[in-house]
């Protein structure tokens, strides 16, 4: 830890980084909590531009009330190496210009590790929000990003108590770890009242199919392991088609998935079923779709947490999760991509209502406040 020599009355600059869609709901409450300590900290928001489509970026900024970024690096898509390298190249001069006392990164996307590495090489303390999550699956690009970012970080803020044991096993000292709670759930609790109704969302996309509240499955799919391999994708699409015989499916399609489904020629099969295909929806629409779903099928990390907070049954189409508390305490069941297991789990939810679960500790809407208090305590002592 490096305490800032704060013998002036000037607020100190904290660089905060976002890059991809799941970062936005994590950063929004932190930016809001920082507003309350303006006399101590000036946030400088950097958007790397990893996600650049309006549907993946602008609507989230508007709905979550995130201020316009001070800097947009505009990196866009590319291979992992190209994207990571471009972010690093463009981020370094920003740090030279603004000279922050620390850099704060959230989550596990390429922007997180790229900016973290640049900060540490410049001897600027790195703060990682959502530290310590591990799927123990190194084929997942996010797992590599998590491990590396945590190794680089000076302050590691965790969302669940057990995450600390993952970090201790990797040799990270206990005094760098702080259990602060879940900022994604701060955003959910802040915005739940404004969530879009099912009807408004369907109308917004000119959808004429009949789907009623609490009587549909919500589906999201975007993990490379599920969508990049044609055989796996075809298997999943077949299951979705079958599932839609039992229950209509609403499927907001991520750009990566859209490309893969089109390339594999699977669009026709889906369109013939009771499957409502939507483009990527806004944050408030997604909250509304989750809240009134009978069940959610997903490979997203964020949705596993949000469904646990909302008490909606979640079936995770992956072999593992880095968020085990959503299984042990929440509404999540990990089923992988085996059609038989998926259908068994769906049937169980349809007959018994599924897991009800409980909301984990510190998923209480106050995580960002705890994070900001910890930052002040560590880096701006005496305030």
Query: Which residues sit at the interface with ligand UD1, rule CB under 6 A?
Result: 20-22, 50-53, 56, 77, 108-110, 141-142, 222, 254-256
- Minimum distance between the CB of residue 197 and ligand UD1, rounded to whole angstroms? 24
- Catalytic, 80? Answer no
185 and 363 Cβ atoms separated by less than 8 Å: yes
Q: Quote the least distance from Cβ 352 to ligand UD1, whole Å.
A: 30
> If 0-12 CB within 10 Å is exposed, 13-18 middle and 19+ buried, where does residue 243 land?
buried
- Tell me the torsion sign for CA atoms 187, 193, 197, 201: negative
List the Cα angle 166/28/298 in 5-degree steps.
60
Question: Shortest distance, CB of residue 80 to ligand UD1, whole angstroms?
Answer: 7
Nearer of residues 34 and 299 to ligand UD1, judged by Cβ: 299
Nearest residue (CB) to ligand UD1, 21 versus 378: 21
Nearer to ligand UD1, 303 or 349 (CB): 303
Cα–Cα dist 43/12, whole Å? 8
Q: Which residues pair with 177 in a beta bridge?
A: 156
Question: 33 or 289, CB closer to ligand UD1?
Answer: 289
- Between 11 and 255, name the residue whose CB sits nearer to ligand UD1: 255
Q: Which two tokens stand for residue 350?
A: 């349809």
Compute the least distance from the CB of residue 322 to ligand UD1, in Å: 11
- Give strand pairing partners of 158: 131, 179
Nearer to ligand UD1, 21 or 370 (CB): 21
Nearest Cα to Cα of residue 218 among 284, 296, 305, 108: 296
- With respect to ligand UD1, which residue has the nearer C-beta, 77 or 356? 77
Kindly state the smallest distance separating residue 146's Cβ from ligand UD1, in Å: 10
Say if residues 157 and 127 touch (Cβ distance below 8 Å).
yes
Least distance between ligand UD1 and beta carbon 226 (Å)? 11
Rounded least distance, CB 97 to ligand UD1, Å: 25
Among residues 128, 222, 254, 377, the one annotated as catalytic is 222
Catalytic site positions: 222
């Amino acid at each position: 830890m490096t305490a800032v020599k704060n013998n002036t009355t000037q607020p100190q600059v904290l660089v905060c980084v976002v890059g991809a869609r799941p970062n936005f709901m994590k950063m929004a409450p932190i930016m809001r909590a920082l507003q309350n300590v303006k006399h101590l900290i000036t946030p400088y928001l950097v958007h790397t531009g990893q996600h650049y489509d309006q549907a993946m970026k602008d609507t989230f900024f508007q709905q979550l009330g995130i201020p316009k970024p001070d800097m947009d690096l505009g990196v866009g898509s590319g291979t992992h190496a190209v994207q990571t390298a471009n972010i690093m190249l463009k981020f370094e001069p920003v740090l030279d210009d603004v000279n922050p006392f620390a850099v704060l990164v959230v989550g596990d996307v390429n922007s997180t590790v790229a900016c973290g590495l640049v900060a540490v090489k410049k001897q600027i303390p790195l703060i990682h929000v959502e530290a310590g999550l591990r799927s123990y699956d190194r084929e997942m690009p996010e797992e590599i990003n998590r491990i590396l970012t945590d190794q680089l970080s000076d302050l590691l803020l965790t969302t669940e108590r057990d995450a600390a044991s993952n970090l201790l096993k990797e040799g990270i000292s206990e005094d760098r770890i702080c259990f602060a709670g879940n900022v994604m759930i701060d955003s959910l609790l802040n915005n739940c009242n404004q969530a879009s109704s099912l009807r408004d969302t369907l109308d917004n996309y000119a959808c004429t199919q009949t789907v009623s509240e609490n009587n549909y499955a919500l589906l999201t799919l975007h993990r490379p392991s599920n969508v990049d391999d044609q055989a796996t994708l075809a298997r999943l699409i077949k299951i979705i088609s079958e599932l839609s015989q039992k229950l209509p499916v609403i499927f907001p399609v991520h750009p990566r998935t859209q490309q893969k489904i089109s390339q594999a020629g699977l669009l026709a099969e889906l369109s013939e079923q009771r499957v409502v295909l939507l483009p990527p929806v806004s944050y408030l629409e997604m909250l509304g779709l989750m809240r009134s779903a009978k069940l959610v099928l997903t490979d997203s990390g964020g949705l596993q947490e949000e469904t646990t907070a909302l008490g909606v049954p979640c079936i995770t189409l992956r072999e593992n999760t880095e968020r085990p508390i959503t299984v042990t305490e929440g509404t999540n069941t990990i089923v992988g991509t085996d059609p038989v297991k998926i259908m068994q789990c769906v049937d169980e939810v349809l007959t018994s209502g599924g897991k009800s679960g409980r909301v984990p500790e510190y998923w209480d809407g106050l995580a960002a406040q705890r994070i900001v208090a910890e930052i002040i305590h560590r880096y701006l002592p005496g305030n």
